[in-house]
Structure 1
Amino acid sequence: MDLKFKRLTEASLQDIISLNNHPDVLRQMPLGSPDFDEVKAKEWIKQKDAQWEQNGYGPWAFFIDHQFAGWGGLQHEDGDADLALVLHPHFWGSGKAIYEEIINRAFTTMGLESITILLPFSRTRIKGVARLGFLEDGEVECDGVRFQRFRLHAPATPERFRS
C-alpha cells in the first residue's frame, strides 16, 4: 500500500464533498449533514487547513495508491490535539495503518504529550479504543452533541514509533 499524507487543499473538492456526504460515513459523524455542498466544502477546507498555521498541526488528506481515501489527523479541540479519521468505506480496512502513522507523527516529530479522541455516546463499540491505550477522560459538548473523551499519553520512549 502506497500511503501519502497531503494537505486538504491538494485533494479534489468533489472527492471531499462525496466523502462527507456518504451515508455510511455520516452514520459515524454526528456533526455531519448530507447538505455538504461546494460552498460549505470550500469554507471547511479553508478552516481545516488554517489549523496548520494556528496550531502547528491539522488534518491531512489521505491518498492510498494515488486515490483519495479520506481525511483526518489532529485538530485543535479545547486545548487538545484531537484525533479524527474519516475514510471512504472502500478504505475502511486501511484505518490502522493511517492511525499508526498519525500517532507516530504526533509523538515524535510534533512532540505532543497526549492526544484525544471524541466519540459520540451513540457509539457503543469502544473496546478497540482501550486496546490502543486510550483512557476515559470525561466528556465534552461540541455544537450541542455530547461526546466521550478518551486520552492517549505519549509513550516514555517515543522511539518505538519511529520507522
Structure 2
Amino acid sequence: MDIAFRRLSDIPLDDITAHMSDPRVAAHMPLLSGDWSDRQSAELVAAKEETWRRDGLGHWAFVVDGVYAGWGGFQREGEEWDFGLVLRPDRFGLGPRIARACLNAAARHPRIPFVTFLLPPSRNHIAALARLGAREVDGVEYGGAAFRKFRLDTPETRA
C-alpha cells in the first residue's frame, strides 16, 4: 500500500466536497454544519494553504494507491500545534498509520515540542491516542463546540 502526502490544492474539489458531505464524516465534526459545497471546499483548501505560507507547516491530502483518502496535518493555535485527521469513511482504518507518519514529521521540527488533538465528545474510541502516548489534558470550547483536548510530546513518536 502506497500512502503519499500531497497538497490539498492537488486534489479535485469535487473529491473533497464528496468527502466532507459524507454524514459519517460530519458525525464527528461538530463545526461542520449544513450541506458542503465546492465553494466551501475551495475555502478549506485556501485556508489550509495559508497555514503552509504563514507557518511553514500545514495540512496534507493523503493519497493511497493513487486515490484520495482524506486530509490532515498541523495548524498552529496560539503557541500550540494542533493535529487533525479527516479520512474518508472507507479509509478510517488507515488513521493510526497516517497519524504516526505525520507525527514523526512533527517530531523532526525543533519548534514543535508537542502537539495537541481536539476530539469531539462523540469520539469514544481513543485507545489509539493512548498507544501513541497522548494524555488528556482538559476540555476546551472552540467555535462554540466542546472538545476533549489531548497532548502528545513529539519525541514519544520517535520510538
The two structures have a TM-score, normalised by structure 1, of 0.90
Residues 20, 34 of structure 1: 8 Å contact kept: no
1:123 matched to 2:103? The reply is no
Unaligned runs of 5+ in 1: none
Q: Distance in 2 between matches of 1:69 and 1:145?
A: 26
Identity %: 39
Q: Paired residue for 2:85?
A: 85
Q: Paired residue for 1:95?
A: 95
1:62 matched to 2:57? The reply is no
Distance 1:101 1:51, change over 3 A: same
Q: Distance in 1 between matches of 2:157 and 2:53?
A: 28
Distance 1:76 1:26, change over 3 A: same
Residues 26, 34 of structure 1: 8 Å contact kept: no
Q: Note the C-alpha offset of 1:121.
A: 2.0
Cα deviations by residue, 1:29-66 (Å, 9 ceiling, x for unpaired): 11112421122211111011110111121110000001
Q: Where do 1:17-32 residues align within 5 Å?
A: 17-32=17-32
* Matched AA of 1:139: G
Answer with 27-36 or 55-64: which moved more.
Answer: 27-36
SS at match of 1:155: helix
Distance 1:41 1:28, change over 3 A: same
Q: Paired residue for 2:5?
A: 5
Q: Paired residue for 1:114?
A: 114
Residues 21, 33 of structure 1: 8 Å contact kept: no
Unaligned runs of 5+ in 2: none
Q: Paired residue for 1:153?
A: 153
The two structures have a TM-score, normalised by structure 2, of 0.92
Answer with 83-92 or 31-40: which moved more.
Answer: 31-40
Q: How many equivalent pairs are there?
A: 158
Cα deviations by residue, 1:87-123 (Å, 9 ceiling, x for unpaired): 1111112112111110110001x23200010011232
